[in-house]
Amino acid sequence: MKTENLPCVKAEKKRGEQVRKALKELKLLKTDAKITSDVDFIYLPLIRALKEKEIGEIGVEELLTREFEVCEQRKNIEDVVGFKPSFEIIGDIAVLTDADSINERNEQLVAHAIMKLHKNIKVVAKRISPVEGVFRKRKMKILAGENRTETIHKENGCKYKLDLEKVYFNPRLATERNRVALQVQRSGKEEVIDMFAGVGSFSIQIAKRASQSMVTAIDINPDAIRYLRENMKLNGVRNIEAIESDIREVHVNFKNKADRIIMNLPKSAYLFLKEALSMLNPEGGIIHFYDVESSYVSNDKSKSLEVAINKAKEKLMATVKEACEHEGFYSIEILAARKVKPYAPYAYIIGIDATVKKKIRKVL
């Protein structure tokens, strides 16, 4: 760490925070220099000497020049490798997400740069297959660090143990998972069904937040359910029933049970709406429905997104209408529809929250 002689403000300690905030708002505080103090005063480093007007505005007691420790600006990966690679971090593993556009030599350069810049990263890997099969698995290749694909990922106060080659997990859905979990009241007693639970990314957060609610977490992938059960222990939650099964085979066991259903299978959730409706409380429940939709509107991304959201709404409404022919009559109200994240150019994962009730036929 180097030192520099810098202009600074000397302020009484009782006014130190007030003066610091004022300097920061005016963009005059040198934030890469370490603030110092003695028994009575605090010394706040400046990017330049203050003007007379600024002295009066801030109410400065004394201006000095003083020696301060200055942190060297941390390099980012673009500075090191000369371009900006795309990667995501899951636990202590960094995964290159655009590896197809990087040659083998640059892959190694990027991998070692990530490990150098991010001391918490122990493994760098890249995807070598798309998500495949009903178990939603993908193959990975280790580029640097330890030879493993298992990690523990922390998110919204929860821990998730998982293996990137055995289960599907998307760290970029953290905000969406938190948004859904916050809708479940802490003191409530909801019956929640997570139809495609994976390692419990929605279920754990809901169960931890609302300990009096009961979550039924279902997944067809045995590894996902194994990790879900481990994650229940890791997070100290007991109000989850983890079920390894195809939802099409077990939905009959939960008929008319759920107050809230999560359908986090964007590419094909609509194919399972009949099962979801059969499990929903006839008096009214909430479905969190996810869909992938694309739309290209003459280089207008905002218009393309609007069209994609409308297509997802229409798909949900049409599928519910179709289900009415088999399961009864339903009323549906869309509470919210939004982009969860980009999926591809002009394609988006759309999230819809909807209230659904079963209409009772009156016998004349």
Write the CATH number for 49: 3.30.70.2580
pLDDT at 299 (0 to 100): 73
Mean pLDDT score, 3-31: 91
Above 50 in pLDDT, residue 128? yes
Above 60 in pLDDT, residue 36? yes
- Other C-beta atoms closer than 10 Å to the C-beta of 57 total 12
**Boundaries of domain holding 84:** 77-148
CA–CA gap between residue 268 and residue 62 (Å, rounded): 67
- Segments of the chain assigned E as strands: 2-12, 36-37, 41-45, 62-70, 87-90, 93-96, 123-127, 140-145, 150-155, 158-163, 191-194, 214-219, 240-244, 260-263, 285-294, 329-344, 347-359
Mean pLDDT score, 181-198: 95
Q: How far is CA 132 from CA 78, 82, 128, 270, 291, in A?
A: 32, 33, 11, 19, 18
Write the pLDDT tens digit of every residue in 131-176: 999 999 999 999 999 999 999 999 999 999 999 999 999 999 999 9
Residues 42 and 27 in one domain: yes
Joined together, the tokens standing for residue 104 give 């083998």
Above 70 in pLDDT, residue 361? no
Mean pLDDT score, 68-75: 82
* In-domain check, residue 239: yes
Residues 113 and 235 in one domain: no
pLDDT at 328 (0 to 100): 66
Last residue of a domain, one of 40, 70, 100: 70
- The number of C-alpha atoms within 13 Å of 99 and in the hemisphere containing its C-beta is 20
* In-domain check, residue 306: yes
What does DSSP assign to residue 102? S
CA–CA gap between residue 105 and residue 89 (Å, rounded): 21
Higher pLDDT, 325 or 5: 5
Residues 229 and 318 in one domain: yes
Joined together, the tokens standing for residue 7 give 């202009």
* Global confidence as pTM: 0.78
Task: Identify the CATH number of the domain in which residue 299 sits.
Answer: 3.40.50.150
* In-domain check, residue 153: no
* In-domain check, residue 252: yes
Instruction: Give the lowest-confidence range in 54-58, 186-190, 221-225.
Output: 54-58
pLDDT band at 188 (very low <50, low <70, confident <90, very high): confident
Last residue of a domain, one of 31, 46, 70: 70
Above 50 in pLDDT, residue 363? no
Above 70 in pLDDT, residue 35? yes
Last residue of a domain, one of 116, 148, 180: 148
Write the pLDDT tens digit of every residue in 252-286: 999 999 999 999 999 999 999 999 999 999 888 99
Q: Is 340 helix (H, G, I), strand (E, B) or coil?
A: strand
Residues 104 and 122 in one domain: yes
Q: How many domains does the chain have?
A: 3
Place of tokens 């593993």: 93
The answer to whether residues 242 and 216 touch, using CB atoms and an 8 Å cutoff, is: no
Residues 87 and 42 in one domain: no
Measured in degrees and rounded to the nearest 5, phi and psi for residue 325 equal -70, -25
Residues 43 and 92 in one domain: no
Residues 64 and 85 in one domain: no
Write down the mean pLDDT value for the chain. Answer: 91
Share of the chain above pLDDT 90, in %: 70
Q: How far is CA 199 from CA 70, 181, 220, in A?
A: 44, 16, 11
Residues 191 and 288 in one domain: yes
pLDDT at 99 (0 to 100): 66
* In-domain check, residue 197: yes
pLDDT band at 326 (very low <50, low <70, confident <90, very high): low
The answer to whether residues 164 and 151 touch, using CB atoms and an 8 Å cutoff, is: yes
166: closest CA among 149, 181, 145, 186? 149
Write the pLDDT tens digit of every residue in 81-108: 888 888 999 999 999 988 667 777 788 8
Task: Identify the CATH number of the domain in which residue 97 sits.
Answer: 3.30.300.110
Residues 85 and 60 in one domain: no
CA–CA gap between residue 43 and residue 45 (Å, rounded): 7
* In-domain check, residue 297: yes
Instruction: Give the lowest-confidence range in 158-167, 194-203, 214-223, 314-323.
Output: 314-323
* In-domain check, residue 340: yes
- Per DSSP, the residues of 275-317 read HHHHHB-TT-EEEEEEEEEE---TT-HHHHHHHHHHHHHHHHH
Residues 213 and 342 in one domain: yes
* In-domain check, residue 215: yes
DSSP bridge pairs for 68: 4
Mean pLDDT score, 40-51: 92
pLDDT at 132 (0 to 100): 92
Q: Is 69 helix (H, G, I), strand (E, B) or coil?
A: strand
Residues 112 and 189 in one domain: no
Residues 214 and 337 in one domain: yes
